[in-house]
Structure 1
Amino acid sequence: MKINQTHQYDQNLDAVFALFADADFMAKKYTTLGARNFKAKTVSLEDSHLLVDTRREVPVDDNTPAPLKKFVGEWNRARQKEEWNKQADGWHCNFKVEISGVPARINGTMHLCQTEKGCENVVTIDISSSIPFVGNALCNFIGKNVDKLVRAEYKVIKEHLESVSA
């Protein structure tokens, strides 16, 4: 399953990118979104390169289809690794999210670039599984949850930026 979103911000590229490199803001964002036990294992920014490695427990949708319940619990441990590189047209990120015990791969990219009115983040996510039969259903279930979560993350970031620039 593929997810594509474009997030528009009124603030400049540097102000928005700073949040992707701020462990305190990440903790606030994920807690606001319902996660628990957030840990930033690595947040390392050097010139034009940012490495982020975080862990958190995320709640699972109450409407989990019965055949998928053996793969997901009420809470799942997630590890997210991001590698950002600054290029002439903005910041580019490759990331992956691993969910303990869930036989699916979540890989994606982000491209954060300046626009005339601020900046935008183009997010692309690919969710796949090699499990026969239930793999597609699992990817669709995860995809719907990830799509909703990424939209909610955007809302939290946007509201934070608006509150600090007001």
Structure 2
Amino acid sequence: MHLHHEQTLPLDVTAAGRLLSDADFVAHRASATGARVDDALVTGSPDSSFTVTVRRSVPSDQIPAQARAFVGDRLEIRQVEAWEPQSGDRRTGTVVLEITGTPVRLTGTLLLEASPDGAVLRYDGELKASVPLFGAAIEKSAAEQIVRTITLEKDATAAWIERHNLGDA
């Protein structure tokens, strides 16, 4: 199942890269989804390449009942974003999201590029649940939760930018 999301940040690409590589921001954004954040780690530098790794857990009550028996009370989600150095007015990367202990995985690309309103952050990915019989239902449920999470993260990002007076693209 293909997923696409984009968000405009009222920042230039350089400032947006600094934001996305700020460990405090990363933890804030992940916790805004209601998840328990177990790790939020940034390695590298916004001046070159950097990697963001977030490990969080959420209750499993929002996945199909037939899948709950396999995962228990909580789902551990590991997300890794690997960003390349900025090139001109853009920065590219990759994203992998895995639900630990399940055959559910999202792989995709990241693009941060200049726009008239600041910087546009785009996620494009393929969500795959390799489960016989229930794969499509699990993909649908996982996609709904990923979209919900992205929306909450988008709101948390806007609030962070406003609270820290960063919005001067």
- The TM-score bracket by the shorter chain reads 0.7 to 0.9
Alignment pair present for 1:158 and 2:158: yes
> Distance in 1 between the 2:72 and 2:150 partners?
21
**TM-score between both structures, scaled by the size of structure 1:** 0.88
- Partner residue of 2:69? 70
Which amino acid is 1:141 matched to? S
Please list, as runs of the form range in 1=range in 2, the aligned pairs for 1:68-147 lying within 5 A after superposition.
Answer: 68-85=67-84, 86-147=86-147
Structure 1 position 59, deviation (Å): 3.2
> Distance in 2 between the 1:161 and 1:73 partners?
36
1:9–1:118 contact (8 Å) kept in structure 2: yes
The 1:160/1:113 distance shift into structure 2, 3 A limit, reads same
Segment of structure 1 superposing worse, 23-32 or 63-72: 63-72
- Partner residue of 2:18? 18
Structure 1 position 125, deviation (Å): 2.3
> Distance in 2 between the 1:149 and 1:90 partners?
25
Alignment pair present for 1:7 and 2:23: no
Tell me the alpha carbon deviations over residues 76-117 of structure 1, each in whole angstroms, 9 at most, x when there is no partner: 112222210123341111010121111111112210111122
Tell me the alpha carbon deviations over residues 48-78 of structure 1, each in whole angstroms, 9 at most, x when there is no partner: 3112223222334x44322121244332112
Alignment pair present for 1:51 and 2:46: no
> Distance in 2 between the 1:37 and 1:159 partners?
19
Q: Which runs of 5+ in 1 are unaligned?
A: none
> Distance in 1 between the 2:114 and 2:34 partners?
30
> Distance in 2 between the 1:41 and 1:7 partners?
22
> Distance in 2 between the 1:156 and 1:114 partners?
21
CA RMSD of aligned residues (A): 1.9
Tell me the alpha carbon deviations over residues 2-41 of structure 1, each in whole angstroms, 9 at most, x when there is no partner: 1111101222222222221111111122222212142134
> Distance in 2 between the 1:46 and 1:153 partners?
20
- Partner residue of 1:38? 38
The 1:65/1:78 distance shift into structure 2, 3 A limit, reads closer
Give the match's secondary structure for 2:123: strand
> Distance in 1 between the 2:139 and 2:14 partners?
34
